[in-house]
Amino acid sequence: MKSCWWQKSNVLILLSGFLGILITCLLLFYNVHLQKRGAIERGVASTWTMAGVAASETERIFYGIEQVYTGIRSFLEGEGGSLPPHDPKVRQMLDVWMEANPFLMDILIVDGLGRVKHWTGPADPPVVRDRDYIDAHFRDPTLDIFVGAPKLSRVHTGQWFFGVSRALRDSNGAIDSIYVAVIRLSHLQQRYTSIEVGPESSVVLLDYAGAIYTRVPDPGLYVGKKISRAEVLPAGQKGLRGVQKVSPLDGRERIWSMRPVPGFPLLAAASVTENEVFRVWRRDSQNLLLVAIVFSLGIAGMTFFLIGLQRRQDRTTLELERLASTDSLTGLTNRRQFMSLCRYEINRARRSKSPLSLIMVDLDHFKEVNDNYGHDAGDQALVAVAAILKQNCRISDTAARLGGEEFALLLPETDRAGAMISAENLRAEIESAEIRVGSHLIPLTVSAGVSPWRKEEDQIHPSLSRADSALYHAKWCGRNQVCSDVEVQNDVPRSS
């Protein structure tokens, strides 16, 4: 009987050991599966983020082009529009824009016959009538802006570029002139190089027809080449996130994400090889297999418990951080987070030597809204204004509620003139908005003050002060208007 008990006990020990090993293996395989999914998700998130940064960098260039077009048109209209071809004054004006925008290779102004009237090149202008960025406007009278395919320059030997053109037409629809910004692809490559790209990752700019404008790394191997249209994001689609497929460029298995450049027929694509995605996962899986052999079920169970606890704690921390940085009424960034973002943008603007501007916005006669319609209506009005601020912000901009009915916008890559345009657009949209609370239509207007950050300033407070003074100058001048810091007079009273 005793012997039988001993044998039975050993069987139970063996069964318990086997069951422990089996459970350990099951937990191991489950953990390996989770880590693989996590590796894929990290790879997808990485490519999505890289594609978004690339699209944002490209969008900033197009924003600069719009400023160039506006400046050229204003200058020519100011001169009466009758200057002879290759006039020195036009050349001088174009050279100023060239110096201010290093992404430009050349600027051309083409007449209604496709001949170059003015340009920034070193010699006689080339024949451009056959270039796609000119010919497209003659073929399509409804075309406004056209983005050309990448090409080798006929003037700047060995340099790649693409043209961005806008046609100006008379009342009969005939072409009066065409503005062309010739974009230096090497500058775009430099911008993409600043993106944090892994050793087996890549960032590509291409159009919907599959033409490659640049690729980082190894731009020289791929610029000007084309891939199949089947590999490209269909027009109108918002994005392509985390697709696993063989790259048409190097034949390697990759995770791809694509994002359109807003408003233009270009795509920013980013990828990472599956070898890079799973490199850490393979190494960790081997280590876990060794750990499963050595460690007991209790240690494995404790590990999973701690992982779950940490995940819950991370979620709680993220939620607390979100609540600490957001205005509870409007959902905009609050003052504390806004000041932190200002410090970051100042450092970035100083490194990149780019402009940075600030807009202060204050609701006019807001006390009368509360008095006439009640504080709930006032809160709804603040929420409506905040929604308009969000709609008018670019991805890189920050809108914040500083307190009460006072708001602020931080505009990277924007000078005083650009900020004035943005502020005026915002003022006009708020004035025309129909803000209805119950059966009441609440009329709202705002006053705004604009001030750029100055490079000698280490903090945003001086810019805030100047913008605030400009805001009160706008109120003093009658409200419902935008003033810049240069308009402020020393004797302006601070009335609300």
Count of beta carbons in the 10 Å neighbourhood of residue 35: 17
- Cβ distance 482 to 427 under 8 Å? yes
What lies within 8 Å, CB to CB, of 472 at 6+ separation is 449, 492, 494, 495, 496
Q: How many CB atoms lie within 10 A of CB 86?
A: 14
Measured distance CA(323)–CA(331) in Å, rounded: 10
Residue with tokens 């460029």: 249
State in Å, rounded, how far the first CA of the chain is from the last one.
Answer: 99
243: its two tokens: 């697709």
- State residue 424 phi and psi, 5-degree precision: -65, -40
3-state SS, 17-63, equals HHHHHHHHHHHHHHHHHHHHHHHHHHHHHHHHHHHHHHHHHHHHHHH
Burial of 70 (0-12, 13-18, 19+ CB in 10 A): middle
Rounded-to-10 torsion of CA 387, 388, 390, 396: -170
| 434: annotated active-site residue | no
One-letter amino acid for residue 26 of the chain = L
**Which of 57, 59, 231, 405 is the catalytic position?**
405
* DSSP for residue 417: H
Nearest alpha carbon to residue 139 among 150, 129, 149? 129
Name the 3-class secondary structure at 116: strand
Give the tokens for residue 23: 């459970």
The residues annotated with a catalytic role in the active site are 405
